Structure 1
Amino acid sequence: MFSKSDGGLPNIRCGLNRWANNPSAAESFFDSAAKCTAESWKYALSYVGLPFNYPDIKYPSGSSWSSPCGGVSQGSAAAFYCPTNQTLYMPYEGLQVKDFGNRPGVYLAVFAHEYGHHIQQITGIMPAMNEKRYDAGADSAEGLEYSRRLELQAQCFSGMFLGSTVDRGGDVNRAMYNDAWRTQQRGDHGKGPRDHGSDAHSSGWWQTGALKNRNVQCNTWASPSGDVS
Protein backbone atom coordinates (compact mmCIF):
# COMPACT_ATOMS: atom_id res chain seq x y z
CA MET A 1 0.00 0.00 0.00
CA PHE A 2 1.29 3.47 -0.86
CA SER A 3 1.12 4.85 2.66
CA LYS A 4 3.44 2.08 3.93
CA SER A 5 6.25 2.94 1.51
CA ASP A 6 9.41 4.36 3.00
CA GLY A 7 9.89 6.56 -0.07
CA GLY A 8 9.50 10.31 -0.11
CA LEU A 9 9.38 13.17 -2.56
CA PRO A 10 12.49 13.95 -4.63
CA ASN A 11 14.50 17.07 -3.90
CA ILE A 12 13.73 19.21 -6.92
CA ARG A 13 14.21 22.77 -8.06
CA CYS A 14 10.74 24.32 -8.16
CA GLY A 15 10.25 27.35 -10.38
CA LEU A 16 7.38 29.59 -9.35
CA ASN A 17 5.80 32.63 -10.93
CA ARG A 18 5.83 35.67 -8.70
CA TRP A 19 3.04 35.95 -6.15
CA ALA A 20 1.03 39.17 -5.88
CA ASN A 21 -2.15 39.88 -3.98
CA ASN A 22 -4.57 39.74 -6.88
CA PRO A 23 -6.50 36.90 -8.56
CA SER A 24 -4.58 36.92 -11.84
CA ALA A 25 -1.16 36.67 -10.18
CA ALA A 26 -2.44 34.03 -7.75
CA GLU A 27 -3.67 31.89 -10.66
CA SER A 28 -0.31 32.20 -12.40
CA PHE A 29 1.47 31.29 -9.15
CA PHE A 30 -0.62 28.15 -8.62
CA ASP A 31 -0.29 27.10 -12.27
CA SER A 32 3.48 27.19 -11.89
CA ALA A 33 3.30 25.35 -8.55
CA ALA A 34 1.23 22.62 -10.20
CA LYS A 35 4.12 21.77 -12.53
CA CYS A 36 6.64 20.96 -9.81
CA THR A 37 4.01 19.40 -7.53
CA ALA A 38 3.11 17.02 -10.34
CA GLU A 39 6.78 16.27 -11.03
CA SER A 40 7.34 15.40 -7.38
CA TRP A 41 4.32 13.15 -6.93
CA LYS A 42 4.66 11.47 -10.33
CA TYR A 43 8.15 10.40 -9.33
CA ALA A 44 7.03 9.23 -5.88
CA LEU A 45 4.15 7.15 -7.21
CA SER A 46 6.29 5.65 -9.96
CA TYR A 47 8.79 4.64 -7.28
CA VAL A 48 6.17 2.44 -5.62
CA GLY A 49 4.65 1.21 -8.89
CA LEU A 50 1.49 3.31 -8.87
CA PRO A 51 0.06 5.31 -11.79
CA PHE A 52 -0.25 9.07 -11.72
CA ASN A 53 -2.68 11.43 -13.37
CA TYR A 54 -2.92 15.21 -13.30
CA PRO A 55 -5.77 16.94 -11.49
CA ASP A 56 -7.67 19.84 -12.99
CA ILE A 57 -7.39 23.21 -11.28
CA LYS A 58 -10.15 25.81 -11.24
CA TYR A 59 -10.13 29.35 -9.93
CA PRO A 60 -13.75 30.29 -9.21
CA SER A 61 -14.55 33.89 -8.43
CA GLY A 62 -17.49 35.77 -7.04
CA SER A 63 -19.83 34.85 -4.21
CA SER A 64 -21.75 32.08 -5.99
CA TRP A 65 -20.36 29.11 -7.92
CA SER A 66 -20.77 25.37 -8.00
CA SER A 67 -18.83 22.11 -8.25
CA PRO A 68 -19.88 18.43 -8.35
CA CYS A 69 -18.98 18.30 -4.65
CA GLY A 70 -21.15 21.25 -3.65
CA GLY A 71 -21.42 24.94 -4.25
CA VAL A 72 -21.01 28.33 -2.70
CA SER A 73 -23.84 30.80 -2.45
CA GLN A 74 -23.39 34.38 -1.26
CA GLY A 75 -20.15 33.73 0.54
CA SER A 76 -16.53 32.69 0.22
CA ALA A 77 -15.09 29.20 0.47
CA ALA A 78 -11.61 28.02 1.29
CA ALA A 79 -9.65 25.95 -1.19
CA PHE A 80 -10.88 22.37 -1.54
CA TYR A 81 -10.47 19.23 -3.61
CA CYS A 82 -13.39 17.53 -5.32
CA PRO A 83 -12.76 13.81 -5.93
CA THR A 84 -15.77 13.48 -8.23
CA ASN A 85 -14.03 15.39 -11.02
CA GLN A 86 -10.51 15.26 -9.54
CA THR A 87 -10.26 19.03 -9.42
CA LEU A 88 -8.56 21.48 -7.07
CA TYR A 89 -10.67 24.59 -6.43
CA MET A 90 -8.55 27.59 -5.47
CA PRO A 91 -10.87 30.60 -5.04
CA TYR A 92 -8.85 33.73 -4.38
CA GLU A 93 -11.51 35.05 -2.01
CA GLY A 94 -11.02 32.01 0.24
CA LEU A 95 -7.26 32.29 0.69
CA GLN A 96 -7.42 34.78 3.60
CA VAL A 97 -5.11 37.17 1.78
CA LYS A 98 -6.26 40.02 4.02
CA ASP A 99 -4.91 38.07 6.99
CA PHE A 100 -1.67 36.70 5.52
CA GLY A 101 -0.71 39.38 3.01
CA ASN A 102 2.23 38.92 0.66
CA ARG A 103 3.42 35.58 2.06
CA PRO A 104 3.40 33.07 -0.81
CA GLY A 105 4.63 30.20 1.34
CA VAL A 106 1.29 30.23 3.15
CA TYR A 107 -0.65 29.81 -0.08
CA LEU A 108 1.77 27.24 -1.49
CA ALA A 109 1.16 25.07 1.58
CA VAL A 110 -2.61 25.32 1.03
CA PHE A 111 -2.17 24.29 -2.60
CA ALA A 112 0.10 21.39 -1.60
CA HIS A 113 -2.50 20.23 0.94
CA GLU A 114 -5.23 20.09 -1.69
CA TYR A 115 -2.85 18.35 -4.07
CA GLY A 116 -2.27 15.84 -1.30
CA HIS A 117 -5.98 15.03 -1.42
CA HIS A 118 -5.62 14.29 -5.12
CA ILE A 119 -2.84 11.84 -4.31
CA GLN A 120 -5.08 10.22 -1.72
CA GLN A 121 -7.82 9.91 -4.33
CA ILE A 122 -5.78 8.34 -7.12
CA THR A 123 -3.99 5.93 -4.78
CA GLY A 124 -7.27 4.66 -3.32
CA ILE A 125 -6.82 6.15 0.15
CA MET A 126 -9.68 8.62 -0.14
CA PRO A 127 -12.20 6.17 -1.66
CA ALA A 128 -11.41 3.65 1.09
CA MET A 129 -11.87 6.34 3.74
CA ASN A 130 -15.18 7.45 2.27
CA GLU A 131 -16.49 3.89 2.33
CA LYS A 132 -15.46 3.34 5.93
CA ARG A 133 -16.83 6.71 7.00
CA TYR A 134 -20.14 5.96 5.29
CA ASP A 135 -20.38 2.59 7.06
CA ALA A 136 -19.56 4.16 10.43
CA GLY A 137 -21.84 7.17 9.93
CA ALA A 138 -20.31 10.32 8.56
CA ASP A 139 -20.94 12.38 11.69
CA SER A 140 -20.34 9.62 14.23
CA ALA A 141 -17.24 9.77 16.41
CA GLU A 142 -15.65 7.03 14.31
CA GLY A 143 -16.63 8.69 11.05
CA LEU A 144 -15.19 12.04 12.08
CA GLU A 145 -11.95 10.36 13.13
CA TYR A 146 -11.64 8.89 9.63
CA SER A 147 -12.02 12.41 8.24
CA ARG A 148 -9.37 13.80 10.58
CA ARG A 149 -6.93 11.07 9.57
CA LEU A 150 -7.46 12.00 5.92
CA GLU A 151 -7.01 15.73 6.51
CA LEU A 152 -3.95 15.34 8.72
CA GLN A 153 -2.30 13.06 6.18
CA ALA A 154 -2.87 15.76 3.54
CA GLN A 155 -1.21 18.20 5.94
CA CYS A 156 1.77 15.87 6.18
CA PHE A 157 1.93 15.57 2.38
CA SER A 158 1.92 19.36 2.13
CA GLY A 159 4.85 19.55 4.50
CA MET A 160 6.67 16.89 2.48
CA PHE A 161 6.39 18.99 -0.65
CA LEU A 162 7.75 22.21 0.85
CA GLY A 163 10.42 20.34 2.77
CA SER A 164 11.63 18.63 -0.39
CA THR A 165 11.79 21.80 -2.48
CA VAL A 166 13.12 24.43 -0.07
CA ASP A 167 16.69 25.66 -0.70
CA ARG A 168 17.09 23.56 -3.86
CA GLY A 169 18.06 26.44 -6.10
CA GLY A 170 14.49 27.23 -7.12
CA ASP A 171 11.92 29.70 -5.87
CA VAL A 172 10.89 27.90 -2.67
CA ASN A 173 13.16 29.80 -0.35
CA ARG A 174 13.64 29.68 3.40
CA ALA A 175 11.32 32.65 4.02
CA MET A 176 8.47 30.91 2.20
CA TYR A 177 9.13 27.69 4.07
CA ASN A 178 9.21 29.48 7.42
CA ASP A 179 5.96 31.31 6.67
CA ALA A 180 4.30 28.00 5.87
CA TRP A 181 5.78 26.37 8.98
CA ARG A 182 4.33 29.06 11.25
CA THR A 183 0.80 29.13 9.80
CA GLN A 184 -0.44 25.55 9.92
CA GLN A 185 -2.84 26.02 12.84
CA ARG A 186 -5.71 25.16 10.49
CA GLY A 187 -7.64 22.80 12.71
CA ASP A 188 -11.27 22.74 13.78
CA HIS A 189 -12.68 25.96 15.24
CA GLY A 190 -16.06 27.08 16.40
CA LYS A 191 -19.09 24.84 16.68
CA GLY A 192 -18.57 22.84 13.49
CA PRO A 193 -17.81 19.10 13.35
CA ARG A 194 -14.39 17.86 14.49
CA ASP A 195 -13.41 16.64 11.04
CA HIS A 196 -9.98 18.24 10.49
CA GLY A 197 -8.14 17.87 13.79
CA SER A 198 -6.81 20.28 16.38
CA ASP A 199 -4.53 23.20 15.58
CA ALA A 200 -1.68 21.41 17.34
CA HIS A 201 -2.10 18.27 15.25
CA SER A 202 -2.64 20.21 12.03
CA SER A 203 0.66 21.97 12.61
CA GLY A 204 2.43 18.91 13.98
CA TRP A 205 1.63 16.64 11.06
CA TRP A 206 2.68 19.33 8.56
CA GLN A 207 5.99 19.75 10.34
CA THR A 208 6.50 15.99 10.45
CA GLY A 209 6.15 15.85 6.67
CA ALA A 210 8.48 18.81 6.20
CA LEU A 211 11.20 17.35 8.41
CA LYS A 212 10.93 13.64 7.57
CA ASN A 213 9.80 13.60 3.91
CA ARG A 214 8.81 9.94 4.10
CA ASN A 215 5.42 8.50 3.21
CA VAL A 216 5.58 6.11 6.13
CA GLN A 217 5.91 9.06 8.53
CA CYS A 218 2.65 10.43 7.13
CA ASN A 219 0.68 7.24 7.79
CA THR A 220 -1.99 8.76 10.01
CA TRP A 221 -4.03 5.55 9.58
CA ALA A 222 -1.60 3.61 11.78
CA SER A 223 -1.40 6.32 14.46
CA PRO A 224 -3.18 6.21 17.84
CA SER A 225 -6.45 8.10 18.08
CA GLY A 226 -4.80 10.59 20.40
CA ASP A 227 -2.48 11.71 17.61
CA VAL A 228 -5.35 12.59 15.26
CA SER A 229 -7.77 14.26 17.64
Structure 2
Amino acid sequence: MLALADHPLLTNPDAGLANAPCAVPGWPSSPAAAQAFFTAAEQCLNDRWGELLTAMNLPFHPPQLEFPTGASFTSECGTIDVGVTTAAYYCKDHLYVPYRGLQTDQYGNKPGVYLALFAHEYGHHVQELVGLMDAAWDVIYREGQDSPAGLEMSRRKELQAQCFSGMFLGSTANRGGSVTQQVFDTAWNDQETRGDNTSGSRDHGTNAHYAAWWRKGAQSDRLAQCNTFAAPSSEVS
Protein backbone atom coordinates (compact mmCIF):
# COMPACT_ATOMS: atom_id res chain seq x y z
CA MET A 1 0.00 0.00 0.00
CA LEU A 2 2.78 2.45 0.85
CA ALA A 3 4.55 1.83 -2.46
CA LEU A 4 1.33 2.68 -4.28
CA ALA A 5 0.44 5.68 -2.14
CA ASP A 6 3.99 7.05 -2.36
CA HIS A 7 4.29 6.81 -6.12
CA PRO A 8 5.92 9.95 -7.63
CA LEU A 9 2.86 10.50 -9.80
CA LEU A 10 0.77 11.10 -6.69
CA THR A 11 3.07 13.02 -4.36
CA ASN A 12 3.53 16.35 -6.18
CA PRO A 13 0.80 18.63 -4.80
CA ASP A 14 0.95 20.97 -7.82
CA ALA A 15 0.89 18.44 -10.68
CA GLY A 16 -2.22 18.45 -12.86
CA LEU A 17 -3.38 18.48 -16.46
CA ALA A 18 -2.97 21.68 -18.45
CA ASN A 19 -6.17 23.57 -19.18
CA ALA A 20 -6.76 23.24 -22.92
CA PRO A 21 -9.62 22.79 -25.39
CA CYS A 22 -10.54 19.44 -26.90
CA ALA A 23 -12.23 19.28 -30.28
CA VAL A 24 -14.34 16.20 -30.88
CA PRO A 25 -17.03 15.71 -33.55
CA GLY A 26 -20.70 15.59 -32.62
CA TRP A 27 -22.45 12.45 -31.51
CA PRO A 28 -24.90 11.07 -34.05
CA SER A 29 -25.18 7.53 -32.71
CA SER A 30 -23.57 5.29 -35.32
CA PRO A 31 -20.48 3.08 -35.25
CA ALA A 32 -18.61 5.30 -37.72
CA ALA A 33 -19.43 8.49 -35.82
CA ALA A 34 -18.45 6.87 -32.53
CA GLN A 35 -15.10 5.80 -33.97
CA ALA A 36 -14.42 9.37 -35.14
CA PHE A 37 -15.46 10.72 -31.73
CA PHE A 38 -13.21 8.44 -29.70
CA THR A 39 -10.28 8.80 -32.08
CA ALA A 40 -10.41 12.58 -31.63
CA ALA A 41 -10.88 12.20 -27.86
CA GLU A 42 -7.84 9.94 -27.65
CA GLN A 43 -5.69 12.60 -29.28
CA CYS A 44 -6.77 15.12 -26.65
CA LEU A 45 -5.98 12.66 -23.87
CA ASN A 46 -2.63 11.80 -25.48
CA ASP A 47 -1.74 15.49 -25.61
CA ARG A 48 -2.70 16.27 -22.02
CA TRP A 49 -1.37 13.16 -20.30
CA GLY A 50 1.70 12.95 -22.54
CA GLU A 51 2.65 16.51 -21.66
CA LEU A 52 2.19 15.90 -17.94
CA LEU A 53 3.97 12.55 -17.71
CA THR A 54 6.87 13.72 -19.85
CA ALA A 55 7.29 16.79 -17.63
CA MET A 56 7.42 14.48 -14.61
CA ASN A 57 10.05 12.26 -16.27
CA LEU A 58 7.59 9.37 -16.35
CA PRO A 59 7.08 7.09 -19.37
CA PHE A 60 4.43 7.82 -21.95
CA HIS A 61 3.13 6.34 -25.18
CA PRO A 62 -0.43 6.31 -26.55
CA PRO A 63 -2.64 3.25 -26.19
CA GLN A 64 -3.78 1.27 -29.22
CA LEU A 65 -7.42 2.11 -29.87
CA GLU A 66 -9.63 -0.81 -30.94
CA PHE A 67 -13.29 -0.89 -32.03
CA PRO A 68 -14.59 -4.46 -31.70
CA THR A 69 -17.83 -5.20 -33.54
CA GLY A 70 -18.91 -8.61 -32.28
CA ALA A 71 -20.75 -9.82 -29.19
CA SER A 72 -17.33 -10.59 -27.69
CA PHE A 73 -13.71 -9.84 -28.42
CA THR A 74 -10.34 -11.30 -27.52
CA SER A 75 -7.72 -9.36 -25.58
CA GLU A 76 -4.54 -10.27 -23.76
CA CYS A 77 -6.73 -10.33 -20.64
CA GLY A 78 -8.98 -13.02 -22.14
CA THR A 79 -12.25 -13.11 -24.06
CA ILE A 80 -14.50 -10.20 -23.13
CA ASP A 81 -18.27 -10.38 -23.56
CA VAL A 82 -19.78 -7.10 -24.67
CA GLY A 83 -22.59 -5.82 -22.46
CA VAL A 84 -23.69 -2.92 -20.29
CA THR A 85 -20.64 -3.40 -18.03
CA THR A 86 -18.17 -3.39 -20.93
CA ALA A 87 -18.94 -0.16 -22.74
CA ALA A 88 -15.16 0.27 -22.88
CA TYR A 89 -12.31 -1.91 -21.69
CA TYR A 90 -8.57 -1.51 -21.15
CA CYS A 91 -5.95 -4.24 -21.27
CA LYS A 92 -2.19 -3.89 -21.68
CA ASP A 93 -1.81 -0.88 -23.96
CA HIS A 94 -5.08 -1.59 -25.80
CA LEU A 95 -8.21 0.48 -25.25
CA TYR A 96 -11.30 -1.27 -26.61
CA VAL A 97 -14.55 0.57 -27.38
CA PRO A 98 -17.23 -1.85 -28.66
CA TYR A 99 -20.08 0.24 -30.05
CA ARG A 100 -22.78 -2.21 -29.00
CA GLY A 101 -21.73 -1.79 -25.34
CA LEU A 102 -22.20 1.98 -25.28
CA GLN A 103 -25.96 1.87 -24.54
CA THR A 104 -26.68 4.52 -27.14
CA ASP A 105 -30.39 3.68 -26.89
CA GLN A 106 -30.28 4.91 -23.30
CA TYR A 107 -27.80 7.80 -23.52
CA GLY A 108 -28.42 9.04 -27.05
CA ASN A 109 -26.74 12.34 -27.90
CA LYS A 110 -24.90 12.86 -24.61
CA PRO A 111 -21.21 13.19 -25.48
CA GLY A 112 -20.28 13.94 -21.87
CA VAL A 113 -21.30 10.43 -20.84
CA TYR A 114 -19.16 8.78 -23.50
CA LEU A 115 -16.21 11.11 -22.98
CA ALA A 116 -16.11 10.48 -19.21
CA LEU A 117 -16.34 6.74 -19.78
CA PHE A 118 -13.50 6.85 -22.30
CA ALA A 119 -11.33 9.05 -20.06
CA HIS A 120 -11.82 6.53 -17.23
CA GLU A 121 -10.42 3.71 -19.36
CA TYR A 122 -7.60 5.98 -20.48
CA GLY A 123 -6.89 6.51 -16.79
CA HIS A 124 -6.10 2.81 -16.58
CA HIS A 125 -3.56 3.33 -19.36
CA VAL A 126 -1.90 6.04 -17.27
CA GLN A 127 -1.82 3.65 -14.31
CA GLU A 128 -0.20 0.99 -16.48
CA LEU A 129 2.39 3.37 -17.94
CA VAL A 130 3.71 4.40 -14.53
CA GLY A 131 3.52 0.99 -12.80
CA LEU A 132 0.50 1.59 -10.61
CA MET A 133 -1.58 -1.00 -12.46
CA ASP A 134 0.96 -3.79 -11.95
CA ALA A 135 1.48 -2.83 -8.31
CA ALA A 136 -2.26 -2.91 -7.66
CA TRP A 137 -2.68 -6.25 -9.39
CA ASP A 138 0.22 -7.69 -7.38
CA VAL A 139 -1.80 -6.99 -4.24
CA ILE A 140 -5.02 -8.32 -5.76
CA TYR A 141 -3.41 -11.58 -6.84
CA ARG A 142 -1.59 -11.98 -3.52
CA GLU A 143 -4.71 -11.41 -1.43
CA GLY A 144 -7.14 -13.12 -3.80
CA GLN A 145 -9.40 -11.36 -6.27
CA ASP A 146 -12.57 -12.08 -4.29
CA SER A 147 -11.09 -11.49 -0.83
CA PRO A 148 -11.99 -8.32 1.09
CA ALA A 149 -8.43 -6.97 0.63
CA GLY A 150 -8.34 -7.89 -3.05
CA LEU A 151 -11.69 -6.26 -3.72
CA GLU A 152 -10.66 -3.13 -1.85
CA MET A 153 -7.51 -2.80 -3.96
CA SER A 154 -9.60 -3.23 -7.09
CA ARG A 155 -11.87 -0.42 -5.91
CA ARG A 156 -8.88 1.83 -5.22
CA LYS A 157 -7.62 1.20 -8.75
CA GLU A 158 -11.00 1.88 -10.34
CA LEU A 159 -11.79 4.95 -8.26
CA GLN A 160 -8.45 6.46 -9.21
CA ALA A 161 -9.36 6.02 -12.88
CA GLN A 162 -12.58 7.85 -12.05
CA CYS A 163 -10.59 10.70 -10.54
CA PHE A 164 -8.32 10.85 -13.59
CA SER A 165 -11.40 10.99 -15.82
CA GLY A 166 -12.75 13.91 -13.82
CA MET A 167 -9.41 15.68 -14.09
CA PHE A 168 -9.54 15.52 -17.86
CA LEU A 169 -13.12 16.73 -18.18
CA GLY A 170 -12.50 19.51 -15.68
CA SER A 171 -9.35 20.70 -17.39
CA THR A 172 -10.92 20.86 -20.84
CA ALA A 173 -14.44 22.11 -20.04
CA ASN A 174 -15.26 25.65 -21.21
CA ARG A 175 -11.86 26.11 -22.88
CA GLY A 176 -13.26 26.93 -26.30
CA GLY A 177 -13.50 23.38 -27.60
CA SER A 178 -16.30 20.83 -27.72
CA VAL A 179 -16.53 20.26 -23.96
CA THR A 180 -19.09 22.91 -23.09
CA GLN A 181 -20.66 23.44 -19.68
CA GLN A 182 -23.60 21.30 -20.78
CA VAL A 183 -21.31 18.44 -21.80
CA PHE A 184 -19.46 18.72 -18.48
CA ASP A 185 -22.68 18.87 -16.44
CA THR A 186 -24.01 15.77 -18.18
CA ALA A 187 -20.84 13.88 -17.27
CA TRP A 188 -20.97 15.21 -13.69
CA ASN A 189 -24.54 14.03 -13.14
CA ASP A 190 -24.10 10.67 -14.86
CA GLN A 191 -21.47 9.46 -12.39
CA GLU A 192 -24.13 8.85 -9.74
CA THR A 193 -25.65 6.14 -11.95
CA ARG A 194 -22.45 4.08 -12.08
CA GLY A 195 -20.73 1.86 -9.55
CA ASP A 196 -21.28 -1.28 -7.53
CA ASN A 197 -24.83 -0.39 -6.48
CA THR A 198 -25.81 -0.46 -10.16
CA SER A 199 -23.70 -3.42 -11.26
CA GLY A 200 -24.17 -5.55 -8.16
CA SER A 201 -20.41 -6.10 -7.85
CA ARG A 202 -17.91 -5.12 -5.14
CA ASP A 203 -14.86 -4.22 -7.23
CA HIS A 204 -15.50 -0.66 -8.47
CA GLY A 205 -16.87 1.30 -5.50
CA THR A 206 -20.34 2.43 -4.52
CA ASN A 207 -22.19 4.79 -6.81
CA ALA A 208 -21.67 7.57 -4.26
CA HIS A 209 -17.91 7.02 -4.16
CA TYR A 210 -17.76 6.60 -7.93
CA ALA A 211 -19.28 10.06 -8.28
CA ALA A 212 -17.27 11.58 -5.42
CA TRP A 213 -13.86 10.61 -6.80
CA TRP A 214 -14.76 11.74 -10.32
CA ARG A 215 -15.90 15.08 -8.98
CA LYS A 216 -12.82 15.47 -6.81
CA GLY A 217 -10.65 15.13 -9.94
CA ALA A 218 -12.85 17.51 -11.90
CA GLN A 219 -12.76 20.19 -9.20
CA SER A 220 -9.10 19.94 -8.18
CA ASP A 221 -7.24 18.86 -11.35
CA ARG A 222 -4.46 17.68 -9.06
CA LEU A 223 -2.94 14.21 -9.16
CA ALA A 224 -2.35 14.25 -5.42
CA GLN A 225 -6.10 14.54 -4.91
CA CYS A 226 -6.51 11.27 -6.84
CA ASN A 227 -4.39 9.23 -4.44
CA THR A 228 -7.00 6.60 -3.71
CA PHE A 229 -4.25 4.31 -2.44
CA ALA A 230 -3.73 6.62 0.53
CA ALA A 231 -7.43 7.11 1.24
CA PRO A 232 -9.12 5.49 4.26
CA SER A 233 -11.14 2.38 3.55
CA SER A 234 -14.34 4.28 4.28
CA GLU A 235 -13.76 6.40 1.12
CA VAL A 236 -13.28 3.43 -1.20
CA SER A 237 -16.08 1.13 -0.15
TM-score (normalised: structure 1): 0.95
SS in 1 for 2:26: coil
Count the aligned residue pairs. Answer: 227
Distance 1:73 1:187, change over 3 A: closer
1:5–1:48 contact (8 Å) kept in structure 2? no
Write the distance in 1 (CA, Å) between the matches of 2:171 and 2:76: 32
TM-aligned CA deviation for residue 153 of structure 1: 0.3
5+ residue gaps, structure 1: none
**1:151 is aligned to 2:158:** yes
Query: Does the 8 Å contact 1:17/1:29 carry over to 2?
Result: yes
The question of 1:141 aligning with 2:126 is answered no
Gap change, CA 1:128 and 1:73, over 3 Å in 2? closer
In 2, distance between residues paired with 1:108 and 1:160?
12
Does residue 92 (structure 1) correspond to residue 99 (structure 2)? The answer is: yes
Structure 2 residue aligned with 1:12:
20
Separation in 1, partners of 2:17, 2:110: 24
- 1:81 and 2:90 are equivalent in the alignment: yes
Report how far residue 5 of structure 1 moved: 2.1
5 Å-filtered alignment, 1:23-172, equals 23-73=31-81, 77-83=86-92, 86-172=93-179
In structure 2, the CA distance between the partners of 1:27 and 1:8, relative to structure 1 (3 Å rule), is same
AA in 2 matched with 1:140: S
Q: Does residue 187 in structure 1 map to residue 199 in structure 2? A: no
The secondary structure found in structure 2 opposite 1:162 is: helix
For residues 53 and 43 of structure 1, the distance between their equivalents in structure 2, rounded to whole angstroms, comes to: 11
Deviates more, 1:14-23 or 1:197-206: 14-23
Seen in structure 2, the aligned counterparts of structure 1 residues 191 and 162 have a Cα distance that, compared at 3 Å, is: closer
String of CA shifts for 1:9-46, please: whole Å, max 9, x gaps: 00012111222111110000000001111100011112
- Separation (CA, whole Å) in 2 of partners of 1:180 and 1:191: 19
| 4+ residue segments displaced more than 3 Å | 72-77, 189-193
Deviation at 1:192, TM superposition (A): 4.7
Unmatched 5+ stretches in structure 2: 1-7
In the aligned structure 2, how far is the partner of 1:111 from the partner of 1:152?
A: 14
SS in 2 for 1:88: strand
Higher helix residue share: 2
Please tell me the root mean square deviation across aligned C-alpha atoms, in Å: 1.5
Of the structure 1 ranges 199-208 and 66-75, higher mean CA displacement relative to structure 2 is found in: 66-75
Deviations 1:38-66 (A, max 9, x none): 10001111222112111001010121322
Please identify, of 153-162 and 91-100, the stretch whose mean Cα deviation from structure 2 is larger. 91-100
Is 1:215 the counterpart of 2:234? The answer is no
Q: Is the 8 A contact 1:139 1:193 kept in 2?
A: no
